[in-house]
Amino acid sequence: MPALRVSSTDLDAFRRFREDDGADLGLFLAQLRRRVPPTPAMIAGTALHAALEHCLPGDHRALAARGHTFTFEAEGEIDLPEMREVKATRNYEIDGLTVTLVGKVDAMRGKRIDDHKLTGRFDPERYLSSVQWRAYLEIFEADEFRWNVFEGRAVAERTWIITGIHTLSARRYPELGDDLLRQLAEFTAFARIHLPERIGEPKAAPRQASFLDSIDRPGGLVRLGSSARPVLAKASMLET
């Protein structure tokens, strides 16, 4: 059966494209084909993810990774799970295609998924309305999704001040699977027309759900802010 591989970020981008009456189809297709370079804010977000991936329990005034430094003016605590950077897939049969939905979560503990975000302004509705958290709950068969949102600003090149630390949660609801399947079917129909190069033969026999890889780190409470001890937690510059 022909196959299509779809990431959870593809689904969210597709949702935003359809909601934007002025969206440019050519630019959107270039984004889906990974032909649009990341913005400085996106690069900073990736660096913060790397810092948190390697972060150890304890007190931290600042975190650093990939040439970026994040200094915390805000006070806050986050409980980092041991299991981080977990990748998994889930397969669906849609309109004659094996559609593989791919997700990679920042951290996971039991039935809870953690996701880290860097933003200039905390907007809860932006996260709650997304497809991503619904996709992750289905892929990983989890029940709760928790965002750790770091609000801040760039004060120099690759230097950020974090002014707010927010947590936000969403939970599985009865119609979640059906809602996600509808979104996935609509993206599949769009891909048949606009992204035919992404449809091909499956590389392996399909499975309902498959965990591909993960990284284990010491988990526990991380205290962030100016009152913490002056320890700089540095993440590896190497890809893992």
DSSP 171-218: E--TTHHHHHHHHHHHHHHHHHHH-GGGEE--SS---SEEEEEEEE--
Two structure tokens written together for 236: 């590896």
What is the count of structural domains for the chain? 1
Overall average pLDDT of the 179-199 stretch:
97
Distance CA 219, CA 133 (A): 22
Q: Please indicate, yes or no, if residue 237 is contained in any of the structural domains.
A: no
DSSP letter (8 states) at residue 208: S
Q: Please indicate, yes or no, if residue 240 is contained in any of the structural domains.
A: no
Better-predicted residue by pLDDT, 12 or 209: 12
Q: Please indicate, yes or no, if residue 142 is contained in any of the structural domains.
A: yes
Distance CA 82, CA 219 (A): 4
Name residues whose C-beta falls within 8 Å of residue 29's C-beta, 6 or more positions apart in sequence.
Answer: 194, 195
Longest dimension (CA), the chain: 58
With 80 as the cut, is the pLDDT of residue 211 above it?
no
Overall average pLDDT of the 211-239 stretch:
62
Which of 105, 109, 118 is closest to 152 using CA atoms? 118
Domain range for 156: 3-229
With 60 as the cut, is the pLDDT of residue 238 above it?
no
pLDDT-based confidence at residue 43 (cuts at 50, 70, 90):
very high
Residues 169 and 142 sit within 8 Å (Cβ to Cβ): no
Distance CA 114, CA 99 (A): 25
pLDDT given for residue 201 in this prediction: 78
**What backbone torsions phi and psi does residue 20 show, to the nearest 5 degrees?**
-100, 105
Q: Please indicate, yes or no, if residue 84 is contained in any of the structural domains.
A: yes
With 80 as the cut, is the pLDDT of residue 171 above it?
yes
Tell me: the pLDDT tens digits for 58-99?
999 999 999 999 999 999 999 999 999 999 999 999 999 999
Q: Please indicate, yes or no, if residue 238 is contained in any of the structural domains.
A: no
Two structure tokens written together for 155: 């004060």
Q: Please indicate, yes or no, if residue 120 is contained in any of the structural domains.
A: yes
With 80 as the cut, is the pLDDT of residue 226 above it?
no
Integer angstrom CA distances of residue 24 from 93, 123, 131, 216: 30, 24, 21, 41
CATH of the domain at 201: 3.90.320
Residues 223 and 56 sit within 8 Å (Cβ to Cβ): no
Q: Please indicate, yes or no, if residue 71 is contained in any of the structural domains.
A: yes
Tell me: the pLDDT tens digits for 97-113?
999 999 999 999 999 99
Distance CA 32, CA 175 (A): 28
Distance CA 146, CA 107 (A): 10
Residues 11 and 131 sit within 8 Å (Cβ to Cβ): yes
Q: Please indicate, yes or no, if residue 235 is contained in any of the structural domains.
A: no
With 70 as the cut, is the pLDDT of residue 194 above it?
yes
Which of 227, 226, 222, 107 is closest to 162 using CA atoms? 226
